[in-house]
Structure 1
């Protein structure tokens, strides 16, 4: 299946991760994703790679992890011990063909061991969903990716997102509802935020004296930020 018959209204820009201790969590993700760590004076830490789309912003927040993350990252690794050495802790190393871990602040991630590790260490961005087909179809239309299903209806993915340094966005069915702000979110660029709203996004915060981007949520309430396409 493909959503590329429609003109995308936005483009993938980069990724944001919330952290109580931004420098420490940035060092962890810098090691795991093989990105350069660049602190800023405002407390935000940038993780930089070969393209702007590889950038991960680690943003300081006061709230610690209190519930299972609704968005988590899957990564490529030569050996799960490398991720553990970087600062992860094991959560489930036996039940799946991947290793379920926690980052230094308790957020979940999954490590997929590879004989040959790709240069882009980020494999997938995984989102818990009430209706995975609906939200995956929405993001495929917004970003211009290719919509695929696992055949069960329980998992849908958006592959081939233009410019994205990962293989796909994965949306998996879960029974529990969203209760808190996601600690991981996407940034996008768009020529017109109204196009995102017309597609079904909800504006949560307009640009003001503090922020120059628009904070929105997708049809299932997942936060993301939209920047002007300059």
Structure 2
């Protein structure tokens, strides 16, 4: 039984309004007139917050988005830069957003209005990570024989089809610039599942900052009456 539910995504950026404009065009979301630093769609879980941070991007993003596109040139015109083009062996294009954050573009004949396809998390042990998050948020744990990655699908509230955990050799070294938030009835079950509390809710923030077993940061939002673990 799951102990939390996916809430939304957050992206650390230097220029929130500019990055919101880029990702809005890329994914198919809009920024409200009274808040140009957040993107919203037709469901609350499609919300993406652009969070201004002082530190620059220094290493490859350990968490990135995969998006659907009709033409990679459309993404370039929108402000993306090709980092690695599609090949026979790699059937997607690796790009960077205007601030250097990596993401992948998948060309499809049919392009939906909402184009976020999946969330990719680099992992030292992708099977363990996928199973851990399946325990936390539910959904179906999936794999494919002979393939090194694992994924979740049919996760309640997940605003994209797949949540993929992909093996990489390099360890996590800095705070992720892309993270997700969850809601939970209480914090303690999330901690009992194996999360680490990095920063509790206080007078400055209204949520608890946690990390999963490989150190990926995520925020836990509790009901207003639940103020402690």
Pairwise same-fold verdict (TM > 0.5): yes
Contact 2:29 2:114 in 1 (8 A): no
Partner Cα distance (1:16, 1:73) in 2: 11
Contact 1:74 1:124 in 2 (8 A): yes
Equivalence map 1:48-127=2 (5 Å): 48-95=40-87, 96-127=90-121
Partner Cα distance (2:11, 2:97) in 1: 12
Contact 1:22 1:45 in 2 (8 A): yes
Equivalence map 1:206-217=2 (5 Å): 206-217=200-211
Contact 1:154 1:172 in 2 (8 A): yes
Structure-2-length-normalised TM-score: 0.93
1:11 aligns with 2:11: no
Give the deviation of 1:79 after TM superposition: 1.0
Instruction: Return 5+ residue gaps in structure 1 as ranges.
Output: 1-6
Q: How many correspondences in the alignment? A: 222
Q: Which residue of 1 aligns with 2:194?
A: 200
Range that drifts further, 114-123 or 212-221: 114-123
Contact 1:216 1:224 in 2 (8 A): yes
1:158 aligns with 2:152: yes
Give the deviation of 1:39 after TM superposition: 6.8
Range that drifts further, 32-41 or 109-118: 32-41
CA change 1:39–1:186 in 2 (3 A) is: farther
1:128 aligns with 2:122: yes
Range that drifts further, 77-86 or 213-222: 77-86
The one-character-per-residue Cα deviations of 1:75-120 (angstroms, maximum 9, x if unpaired) are 0111111111111001011332111100000010000111111333
Partner Cα distance (2:167, 2:213) in 1: 15
Give the deviation of 1:38 after TM superposition: 3.1
Runs (4 or more) in structure 1 with deviation over 6 Å come to: none
Contact 1:23 1:39 in 2 (8 A): no
